[in-house]
Chain A
Amino acid sequence: MSTSTLSAAPTGAWQAWCADAAATARKLLANPLTAIGVAVIAVLVAVALFAPWIATHDPLRQDLFAALQPPGAAHWFGTDEFGRDVFSRLVHGTRITLFIVTLVTVVVGPLGMAVGVVSGYFGGKVDTLCMRVADVFLSFPSLVLALAFVAALGPGLDHAVLAIALTAWPPIARLARAEAMTLRQADFIVSAQLQGASHLRVLWRHLAPLCLPSVLVRLTMNMASVVLTAAGLGFLGLGAQPPLPEWGSMISEGRRYMLDSWWTVAAPGAAILAVSMAFNLLGDGLNDALDPRQSS
């Protein structure tokens, strides 16, 4: 059995897709910056999965007598104003960050693609309606709109996720629509229709998989901004509520003690920076890898 995917001819769309993906992954990892990004994200996922074992203390346990301790042997990143261990809160915060990113992507991806593909394929009134709705959401800075939603729904992690998702789907929809519009005239689509495929079948089996790669790239590039928006909402007090160890709200709370206890703010800030950078690096790398013009 040959191990090289190049030598064996692909036997179906799925195998071809996998071979493509593997080649892309190799190209990705060849770039050192992207590799770093992937590594950081892998660490993030690992930390989130094994958080209870990696954390040294209970992130919610308060100890008012050990409040605002500097980093040391007992508390690697020091403690906050309630005596909670910052390192453990950081570690458990990865779960929240990952939760937000995953949930937003899982909601925005299918929703945006569905709206965009349908809109681009059918055109006409359906297209106009969908794009008008998308325009309403797009004609506004996403943080502010998310702010408005969360202020309306009440602060909370779920509401913040919902708000971010509601502001993040329009660009995906537009992208999918653009792709669908270019592809709907393609020969194989027309032939499928002539063979009697229903619209649903055409959309699901033919159009959607082709729009998927650019949507995925866009989604990955969006993840960084999702992390930042969520942190921004947390900073304004509208995201995850205390005592959840969300990084943005940790900065907001630690800000009151910043002058004397810099670690309460430095640690979560650095974490947000690292994760956001990693997603940006990955997104950039994906963009480069999949963009034919950039191959040298």
Chain B
Amino acid sequence: MLPASSWPLRRRPLLALPALPALFAASWGAAHADSPDDQLLIGMSMNNLLSLDPAAATGLDAVTVACNLYDSLLEVDAAEATKLRPSLAQSWTVGEGGRRITLKLRSDARFASGRPLTALHAAWSLQRVLKLNLALASVWKSYGFTAANAATHIRTEDAETLVLDLPQATDPTLVLMTLATSMTGYVIDRDTVLAHEQRGDLGNAWLTTHAAGSGAFELEEWRPKELLTMRRAAHHWQPAAKLRRVVFRHMTESQTLRLMLMRGDLDVAGGMSAPDVRALAKQPDLVVEEVRRATMYYVAVNARHPRFADERVRRAVLRHLIDFQGVASGVLPFYGELQMRPVPPGLPASLPQPGYRFDPSSARRLLAEAGLADGFDTTIRVVAEAPFTGIATSLQATLAQGGIRASILPGTGNQVYGSMRERTFEIIVGRGGGGAEAHPHSGLRALVYNPDNRDSARLSNFQGWRTGYADAALNRLIEQALLTPEAAAQADLYREAQQRFDTRVGAIQPIAQMLDTQVLRRAVKGYRGHPSGATRLREVYKEGRRS
């Protein structure tokens, strides 16, 4: 190189150039950005985290975060999904023939602002859900609540008593479960929110990016699709959270999550692909946690399509031409657990798996009876990600063995579910359904129930309507079971409904119950994945220093 002394003066600053690798080396030699003991670092996809407003947010990502900022009146036990535990409400009773729920709140709960939490706030929060009338209000509307009757049917009797008068007959346990699992059940600090109200939006704009709750953590900073940080709440009515701070980082790439976990730059990572989880499971300092979620993977056909209107064709496709075992062992690991009934296991009304098998000869016989001995051409719409594509690929191969030539049409969620909402698809591999309530009704309602099959009804939030199949008797069974107060009789009716679903082939066939797979560093203790996605972090702590 040219000796520096001969360089013209103006180029002398270039002498700084060698400093660059020195800087690099220095920063490398420095201590790693250790994940400190009192901070939990979580990597997850925040693509669906668009709002923190409990009345407006949709998607599972929002619940994961918001459940730590807010409290509900009740909670569902992480291990036993049917068990309700008190939270802000100490106790509750059901009266008036199952039409009135009275909840008694604790007196010592406070919001992050320091304000005491009373039944007034709880009532206002619920009424707000109905007044804003966004996506999450639909479940309350299905119970008969509206913006008009919210003030009278959701009311306080005193500072510690909240009364819900159910406008129409339904199963009160279901309503309690909704209170416990839905974001709409979070109690919001009314006064703080109304202070930031703009143009009568009940604080919707402000709550999109802020929080006013009573949870174990307070919101520190949120940069959409990038980062969200929470810190331990100053006053919490339960023992203070053990962690000082929680950092959620937006990461969609499974390999990136894996790399950062391996390097110790992350403590918890979710949503990774199966091969990555499998590779990480082998590491001694990492633990894999799988939690069943309420959503189900399914294969559905459009019963309004002339070919699939024939029950024999549906039976051939949905019962005999899906390789359930092959998909379960080859495609599903870490994504889902094989599940062939719309009611998940673990409930009193649950039935064992029906034992459908891949049986191309029976399928061919049925198709021949339906006059399609030469098979036919069709399309499978599928979201272009794992495991949907794996299921679709397997389906394509097994359909071919039945003589059905299917081409796969991958697309985005918008395109695929859009065609489903318009009822213009033929076969679809999708995921959806199941409300978070551990009650047979939520799964049946979302997946099977179809009270009005006409195009004009546009019940696009029911998979039953989307797939175009309506069974009046099944609908009646579902409605009846919901209103049966006696537990044993209710369970019998749900079992009957499932058996009817079994014999009368509908248009949708569940394949798997979704698994939420998280990989944690072994040093993270007290982390319990929750089936509704509400994984509360107040019990979590990290032990020891990373060596």
- The reply to whether A and B meet directly (CB within 8 Å) is yes
Question: Which chain A residues have a beta carbon within 8 Å of chain B's beta carbons?
Answer: 62, 64, 68, 82, 241-242, 255-260
B255 touches A259 (CB 8 A): yes
Looking across the interface, which residue of chain A has its beta carbon closest to that of B394?
A: A64
If A241-B410, A256-B255 are given as contacts, then 6 extra A-B residue pairs at C-beta distance below 8 Å, sorted by A number, are A242-B410, A255-B253, A256-B273, A257-B273, A257-B275, A259-B279
Q: List 19 A-B contacts (CB under 8 A).
A: A62-B393, A64-B330, A64-B394, A68-B275, A241-B410, A242-B410, A255-B253, A255-B255, A256-B253, A256-B254, A256-B276, A257-B255, A257-B273, A258-B255, A259-B255, A259-B259, A259-B276, A259-B279, A260-B279
A-B contact count, CB below 8 Å? 28
CA of A82 to CA of B275, assembled, Å: 13
B517 to chain A, nearest CB (A): 15
Is there contact, CB below 8 Å, between A82 and B393? Answer: yes
B384, A260: Cβ atoms under 8 Å? no
Give the distance to chain A from B183, nearest Cβ to Cβ, in Å: 30
Q: Which residue of A lies closest to B326 (CB)?
A: A64
A82 to B273, CA, bound (A): 14
Which of B384, B390, B394 is in CB contact (< 8 Å) with A242?
A: B384
Of A242, A256, A260, chain B has the most CB atoms within 10 Å of the CB of A256
The 10 closest A-B pairs by CB, nearest first: A259-B255, A258-B255, A256-B254, A256-B273, A62-B393, A242-B410, A257-B275, A64-B330, A256-B255, A260-B279
A68 partner residues in chain B, CB cutoff 8 A:
275
Which residues of B in the span 301-341 have a Cβ within 8 Å of any Cβ on A? 330
A82→B330 CA distance, assembly (Å) = 12
| Interface size class of chain B, counting residues whose CB lies under 8 Å from the partner chain | 10 to 19
Expressed in whole angstroms, the minimum distance between the Cβ of B238 and any Cβ of chain A is: 40
Contact partner of B275 (CB less than 8 A), chosen from A62, A242, A255, A260, is A260
Q: Which B268-314 residues have C-beta < 8 A from chain A?
A: 273, 275-276, 279
Q: Which residues of A contact B253 (CB under 8 A)?
A: 255-256
Residues of A contacting B390 in the complex (Cβ-Cβ under 8 angstroms): 64
- Cβ of B258 within 8 Å of any chain A Cβ, yes or no, is yes
Give the distance in Å from the alpha carbon of A242 to the alpha carbon of B276 in the complex: 22
The interface residues of chain A lying within 8 Å CB-to-CB of B273 are 256-257
Instruction: Provide the residues of chain B in CB contact with A241, threshold 8 Å.
Output: 410
Q: Across the two chains, which residue of chain B brings its CB closest to A65?
A: B330
In whole Å, how far is A19's beta carbon from the nearest beta carbon of chain B?
47
| Residues of chain B contacted by A256 (CB below 8 angstroms) | 253-255, 273, 276
B258–chain A nearest beta-carbon distance, Å:
7
Q: A260 — which chain B residues lie within 8 A by C-beta?
A: 275, 279
Q: Which chain B residue shows the least CB distance to A237?
A: B384
Cα of A257 to Cα of B258 in the assembled complex, Å: 11
CA of A242 to CA of B410, assembled, Å: 8
Give the docked Cα–Cα distance between A257 and B275 (Å): 8
Report yes or no: B393 in contact with A259, Cβ–Cβ below 8 A.
no
Taken together as a complex, chains A and B put the C-alpha atoms of A257 and B253 apart, in Å, by 10
Cα(A82)–Cα(B255), bound, Å: 18
Q: Determine whether the beta carbon of A259 is less than 8 Å from that of B258.
A: yes
Which chain B residues numbered 378 to 395 have a C-beta less than 8 Å away from chain A? Answer: 384, 390, 393-394
Chain A residues with CB under 8 A of B255: 255-259
CB distance from B419 to the nearest CB of A (A): 14
Chain B residues within 8 Å of A242, by CB: 384, 410
Q: With CB as the reference atom, state the residue of chain B lying closest to A241.
A: B410
Q: Which residue of B lies closest to A154 (CB)?
A: B415
Q: What does the 1/0 interface line of B338-367 toward A look like (CB < 8 Å)?
A: 000000000000000000000000000000
Q: Which residues of B contact A257 (CB under 8 A)?
A: 255, 273, 275
Contacts of A258 in B (CB 8 A): 255
The closest CB in chain A to the CB of B258 belongs to: A259
Q: For residue B415, which residue of chain A has the nearest CB?
A: A154
Residue of B nearest to A82 (CB): B393
| B448–chain A nearest beta-carbon distance, Å | 31
Chain A nearest CB, measured from B112 CB (Å): 39
* Chain A neighbourhood of B394, CB < 8 A: 64
Least CB distance, A94 to chain B, in whole angstroms: 23
Residues of A within 8 A of B393 (CB): 62, 64, 82
Taking CB as reference atom, which chain B residue is nearest A255? B255
Q: How far is the CA of A256 from the CA of B410 in the complex (A)?
A: 18
Instruction: Give every chain A residue within 8 A of B258 (Cβ-Cβ).
Output: 259
Question: What is the CA–CA distance of A82 and B258 in the complex, to the nearest angstrom?
Answer: 21
Q: Whole-angstrom distance between the alpha carbons of A64 and B390 in the complex?
A: 9
**B154 CB, nearest partner CB in chain A, Å:** 43
Neighbouring A residues of B330 by C-beta, 8 Å: 64
A249 to B433: give the CA distance in the assembly, Å: 32
> Per-residue CB proximity of B435-449 to A under 8 Å, as 1/0?
000000000000000
The answer for the CA separation of A259 and B394 in the assembled complex, in Å, is 25
In the complex, chain A residues whose CB is within 8 Å of the CB of B276 = 256, 259
The residue in chain B whose Cβ has the minimal distance to the Cβ of A68 is B275
What string of 1s and 0s marks CB contacts (under 8 Å) between B242-270 and chain A? 00000000000111001100000000000
Collect the chain A residues with CB atoms within 8 Å of residue B410's CB: 241-242
Query: Which of A241, A257, A259 has its CB near the most chain B CB atoms (within 10 A)?
Result: A259
Please, how many angstroms separate the alpha-carbon atoms of A68 and B410 in the complex? Answer: 21
Q: Mark B21-57, 1 if CB is under 8 A from A, else 0.
A: 0000000000000000000000000000000000000
**Complex CA distance for A151 and B279, rounded to whole angstroms:** 35
Query: In chain B, residues 389-409, which have Cβ atoms closer than 8 Å to a Cβ of chain A?
Result: 390, 393-394
CA gap between A257 and B276 in the complex, in Å: 8
The chain B residue sitting closest to A257, CB to CB, is B275
Closest chain-B Cβ to A238's Cβ sits at a distance in Å of 11
A259 to B254, CA, bound (A): 10
Measured CA separation A215–B210 after assembly (Å) = 56
Determine how close the nearest CB of chain A comes to the CB of B322; give it in whole angstroms: 15
Query: Complex formed: what's the CA distance from A241 to B412 in Å?
Result: 12
Tell me the minimal C-beta distance from A69 to chain B in angstroms. Answer: 13
Write the chain B residue with the least CB distance to A242: B410
In chain B, residues 212-257, which have Cβ atoms closer than 8 Å to a Cβ of chain A? 253-255
In angstroms, Cα B390 to Cα A62, docked, is 11
State in angstroms the CA–CA spacing of A256 and B389 once bound together. Answer: 14
Of chain A, the residue at the smallest CB distance from B259 is A259
B366 to chain A, nearest CB (A): 26
CA distance A257 to B279 in the complex (A): 11
| C-alpha spacing A68/B254, complex, angstroms | 16
